[in-house]
Amino acid sequence: MPELPEVEVTRLSFADRIAGARVLEVRLGKPLRWPLGCDPEHLTGHTVGAVRRRGKYLLLDLLLDHQPGGLLVMHLGMSGSVVFDRYLPPPGRHDHFDLVTSLGTLRLHDPRRFGAVVHAAGQDQGMAHKLLSGLGVEPLGEGFDAGLFHQALKSKKAPIKQVLLAGEVVVGVGNIYASEALFLAGIRPSLRACKISRPRAARLHAAIRQVLAQAVSQGGSTLRDFSNAMGQTGHFQLSAQVYDRAGLPCLSCETPIRRIVQQQRSTYFCPVCQKP
């Protein structure tokens, strides 16, 4: 599943190129996870403004006659990706949304159809509010404070890995990046979040920022078929310290990396470097 770094990399790869484009047509393929929420023709004539990100969602601001015209909320689902280009072939069987603009076509490709594109009148209205209002703080933003992070963890009795994945305390720390950040911070994934001391929470706070920033700089992770809007794949998985390295020696102490399953997700850790 594309996580925060992959979504941010995707945003960076087309945001500047589509800004100011006039919507000429919207083409829909097979139904996605949620309906568009408006008649496709309603979007014709709008202008694309800023392209933002909230957690794992892409937000395309729309303007109509230089006034706010709502926004499109886009989610890549389990296997989705977008491409933006002036010259695209006709939509294939897994291409389910085309935003045809004066500067090119933004296309959502999603073989499993767990992704979605939803129109809302504003970020705090309709389906946008339902999808975005419960998200935690952005880990790469100024609002991600180490002290507040520790305070939030104190109220969570679940294992720290599960708390990170839930997205209520901090948003977008997906499976790969949670394993990597916990290794960097020296924290066992099964440790209850409420048991983490302030100094250890501060180390985890810094590790989350470091891991996610590194992943964005390396184009995200391409485990199967992720690519950005220019068709470029990511390389973070090549520098992973523990993820998908079960049985291989820890790069710090040479102890074999272990794999456990938490809420049906694989977790990787070093039993020596990561203390319970």
Catalytic residues: 2-3, 56, 265
For 269, list phi and psi in degrees, rounded to 5. -160, 165
Dist. CA 89–CA 219, nearest whole Å: 25
Strand partners, 256: 249
Dist. CA 2–CA 78, nearest whole Å: 7
CA distances from 174 to 5, 10, 30 (A): 9, 16, 28
H helix and E strand count, the chain: 6, 10
DSSP state, residue 192: B
